[in-house]
């Protein structure tokens, strides 16, 4: 499925590295880039899952490198960037999507294991990959797209570590946008209100919460990961985007900060 087969593909010749690209929203975003001509690097913790996704994208004509690794560790970012450059010779787009999740836990009950897992995978992982990819992005300019969350903005119940990680990511994105603009690098944040695999578990026994959340959207639905979120990511990485340091809420109007 092509986002728009009637126009020139905006990512032809480009290389996009997507963390957490083996499932859910990360895969949807990667799929959107592939359909616009990008060569892809997918990272995630489970090689078999990445291989399955990569095989499907290759069947559709994409060039894909699948690399297993844990974004909580700097070595994972350094290794992924080095292997991307070995395979494709460049990096044009970095999408930081990987994030460990948990069911809601009250702030007073959040222990070190939970906090470290969520904050290291989200905030630290994002910083590690940005630092590792920076020299390659500087060569021709490029785009960094980081994934934030409305939970960080509204302070959702039981999401203290997740909200902290996501607001930290937004802050780092703005700093990088200011520091890296002179190198032609755009850095933006997407806060998606998209249905994903994790939400199947989150709302499994909370139909009333799901109904209430949908009622908050003037457009009456969740964003589509491929068409809505992926389409926005492709635009933000493309030549027609003259925006940096911005946060984009793609949630049907749930948040209007």
Is 236 exposed, middle or buried (CB count within 10 Å of its CB: 0-12, 13-18, 19+)? buried
CA distance 88 to 133: 13
Query: Which among 74, 54, 57 is positioned nearest to 65, based on CA atoms?
Result: 54
- 101: CB partners within 8 A, 6+ apart: 118, 162, 198
Catalytic residue among 27, 128, 134, 162: 162
Residue 223, φ and ψ in degrees, nearest 5: -70, 150
Q: Hey, what long-range contacts does 170-175 have (CB within 8 A, 24 or more apart)?
A: 170/146, 170/247, 172/123, 172/126, 172/127, 172/130, 172/146, 173/144, 173/146, 173/148, 173/245, 173/247, 174/245
Residue 128 bears catalytic tag? no
Separation CA 74–CA 132 (nearest Å): 9
Furthest-apart CA pair in the chain: how many Å?
A: 53
Q: Are 137 and 91 in contact (CB under 8 A)?
A: yes
Residue pair 199/157 in contact (Cβ under 8 Å)? The answer is: no
The DSSP secondary-structure symbol of 184 reads T
Active-site residues, by number, are 162
């Amino acid at each position: 499925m092509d986002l728009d087969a009637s126009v020139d593909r905006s990512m032809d010749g480009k290389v996009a590295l997507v963390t957490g690209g083996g499932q859910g929203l990360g895969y949807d975003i990667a799929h959107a880039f592939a359909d616009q001509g990008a060569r892809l690097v997918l990272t995630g913790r489970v090689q078999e899952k990445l291989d399955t996704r990569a095989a499907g994208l290759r069947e559709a004509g994409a060039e894909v490198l699948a690399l297993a690794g844990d974004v909580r560790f700097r070595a994972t970012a350094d290794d992924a960037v080095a292997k991307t450059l070995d395979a494709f010779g460049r990096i044009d787009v970095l999408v930081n999507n990987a994030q460990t999740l948990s069911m809601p836990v009250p702030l007073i009950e959040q222990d070190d294991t939970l906090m470290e897992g969520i904050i290291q995978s989200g905030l630290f992982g994002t910083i590690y990959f940005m630092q590792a990819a920076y020299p390659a992005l500087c060569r021709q300019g490029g785009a960094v797209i980081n994934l934030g969350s409305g939970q960080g903005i509204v302070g959702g119940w039981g999401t203290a570590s997740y909200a902290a990680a996501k607001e930290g990511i937004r802050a780092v994105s703005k700093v990088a946008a200011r520091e890296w603009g002179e190198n032609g690098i755009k850095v933006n944040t997407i806060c998606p209100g998209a249905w994903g695999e994790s939400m199947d578990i989150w709302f499994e026994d909370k139909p009333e919460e799901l109904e209430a959340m949908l009622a908050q959207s003037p457009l009456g639905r969740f964003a589509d990961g491929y068409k809505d979120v992926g389409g926005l990511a492709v635009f933000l990485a493309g030549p027609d985007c003259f925006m940096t340091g911005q946060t984009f809420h793609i949630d049907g109007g749930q948040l209007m900060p």
